[in-house]
Amino acid sequence: MINGGVRWINKRELSKYLTINYSTSEIRSMAIFHVLLFTDFMGLYMLFGHSELGFIFNIGLIPVIILNLWSILYVVAPYRFELSFVLFYGIWGLLTSFLHFLVIQKFLYNIVQFESLLFFYLGLTFYLFSIISVLVIQHLSLYDKIKIPEGPGAWPKWVAIIPGFSFLFAQLVFSAINSEDVKALIFVGGLTLVMIYPVLAVKLVHQYFFLKKHKKELSARYSGLGKSKKDRIFNGKKSKRHKQKAQGS
């Protein structure tokens, strides 16, 4: 139970939700790796070239600029912005999965030569439905209303319980029936699978606001949260001296 009995939370889920699942020393490399590989290369780079949807490059440029500028914070001062990296990771998932959606649509329109935007809007609707489903399922699992799969082997189960994912794979099957461009279809299929990773990362947005709401409990676990590396080292030495004095007396 938390917040004076307002809501009941599974103790295991509460403990997990109050845990930051990466070390501070990993933040810089994680920010660089995720933005450069998944956002810039698999996202923006793949939007270059001819497209039947001429507007998607300009749309895709916006999240790329946001994520590249935002990631500078975690390259420069990862320790000071440790908590906000949870939010960054979740928003990275949202914006990068949207970029992958645009890339998939670009290739599908080039392969199948659709003349209407209906296919694009249907895909967008189900993509947004996938994002909302992830957040809703994450919220319900926190309050023990639903059991969600965990671990690397749980991806197929997530795909099964989130209806929006089904449409993404249906798009691929439909394109395979209507096209003979095998190489392009293999690429689209691979990117569709890769896209599941950033989509599932969106659940960290929910966790971030939960952590902000329960900052007191979080601070008890992570006393150095929000402090620079230099301050953490100084406070650590200071705390050590106090303990030695207490033991000596």
Q: What is the DSSP string of 156-195?
A: HHHHHH-HHHHHHHHHHHHHHHT---HHHHHHHHHHHHHH
Angstrom distance (rounded) from CA 75 to CA 109: 37
pLDDT at position 187, please? 82
Angstrom distance (rounded) from CA 163 to CA 151: 20
Cβ atoms within 10 A of the Cβ of 92, count?
26
pLDDT at position 237, please? 47
pLDDT digits (tens, 9 = 90+) for 155-206: 555 555 565 566 666 666 666 666 666 777 778 878 888 888 999 899 999 9
Tell me the helices (H) and strands (E) count for the chain, helix number first. 12, 0
pLDDT at position 192, please? 83
pTM here is 0.82
pLDDT at position 184, please? 75
pLDDT at position 249, please? 46
Angstrom distance (rounded) from CA 76 to CA 62: 22
pLDDT at position 41, please? 95
pLDDT at position 241, please? 44
pLDDT at position 190, please? 84
pLDDT at position 233, please? 54
Q: Which residues of the chain have pLDDT under 70?
A: 1-10, 144, 146-181, 224, 226-249
